[in-house]
Amino acid sequence: MATPYLCRPIEHGADVVVHSTTKYMGGHGTSMGGAIVDAGNFDWAAHADRFPMMATPDASYHDVVWTDAAGPAAYITRARTVLMRNTGATLSPMNAWIILQGIESLHVRMDRHCQNAAQVADYLRAHPLVAWVNYPGFDDNPYHEIADRVLTGKGYGGLVSFGLRAGREAGSAFVEALQLFSHLANIGDAKSLVIHNASTTHSQLNDEELAAAGVAPEMVRLSVGIENVDDIIADLEQALDKTAE
């Protein structure tokens, strides 16, 4: 969700990073995809007992030993030649082009996502109908210290969740009253998205199971887009007004 613009895991010691390109990297909700990035730093041969597929002959690929053939790139080479061959997990040329087009504007969009989300979080926190706001940019957020440590300092992302004092039914009614936001389970689009998880993605869970999953019945999740922030806040305000009626 942070994308490489906000978080660079390899610089924190990760050896393999998996990205969803469906979300912010593509950025427009038009293509599904993912990417594996191998830092090339892990010595697969030195850990042959833990990763025998890398260090023993691969009968499915002419008995090649990947650590011998590719050295530090053994994992990513095997992923490209064997995993993709076996699963067919390759993007169509059109989807690949769409995602590459999205990546070209990633830095511009992420700046706007972060700026808008910060203003939305401040607005919601000050609203009398809102019980709580979960946003890592707040100093008192339990994840704020971690975010400051692992992110690049360019922002805290575009996701904001909050709860309405009136409870579960109010959360669902609020979502239905929104006009600018799209009611979708996805995140990371250029357009603003919203979902009431307890009545949609987690609707099969009872109250105890919701609590165990960290989903409050009144919780609403926003994926704040790159529209003019005044328009975003105006939509939130009119929906909150209708919820209070």
Could you tell me which of 178, 195, 156 has the C-alpha nearest to residue 243?
178
Q: Which domain holds residue 81?
A: 3-104
* Structure confidence at residue 245 as a pLDDT band (50, 70, 90): confident
- Same structural domain for residues 83 and 150? no
Write down which residue in 83, 104, 125 finishes a domain.
Answer: 104
Residues 139-144 have a mean pLDDT of 97
Residues 73-80 have a mean pLDDT of 96
Tokens of 209: 């199971």
- Same structural domain for residues 110 and 222? yes
- Same structural domain for residues 89 and 23? yes
- pLDDT at residue 136, rounded to an integer: 97
Distance set, CA 103 to CA 3, 39, 99, 108, 223 (Å): 10, 20, 6, 10, 18
- Same structural domain for residues 123 and 225? yes
- Same structural domain for residues 23 and 115? no
- pLDDT at residue 201, rounded to an integer: 87
- The 10s digit of each residue's pLDDT in 9-64 is 999 999 999 999 999 999 999 999 999 999 999 999 999 999 999 999 999 999 99
- Same structural domain for residues 117 and 150? yes
Number of domains in the chain: 2
Residue 145: pLDDT over 90? yes
Residues 135-155 have a mean pLDDT of 97
